[in-house]
Amino acid sequence: MPAGTPKPVIEKLHKEITAVQDMPEVQQQFLNRGAQVLKMSSAEFSAYIQNEIAKWGRVVKEAGIQAQ
């Protein structure tokens, strides 16, 4: 979501996404594709994304990868 999104909007979206993730048919579709549902709080997801950006940013920099 864009920065500055009101907290109630974020909480509602999180609640709705979690409800979908809890559906057995959705979980089965993930399993059929070799994946599983991983649920996180908004704060956990934010931290995860920040860590991924930092990790892959280092990989790109150290490997000298350039956009084409």
How many Cα atoms within 13 Å fall on the side-chain side of residue 11? 3
What is the mean predicted confidence (pLDDT) over 39-66?
A: 94
- Whole-angstrom Cα distance, residue 18 to residue 39? 7
pLDDT at 29: 96
First to last CA, the chain: 27
**Domain range annotation of the chain:** 1-37, 39-68
Number of H helices, E strands in the chain: 3, 0
At 2-29, the pLDDT tens digits run 889 999 999 999 999 999 999 999 999 9
What is the mean predicted confidence (pLDDT) over 32-54?
A: 93
- Whole-angstrom Cα distance, residue 41 to residue 35? 19
pLDDT at 43 over 90: no
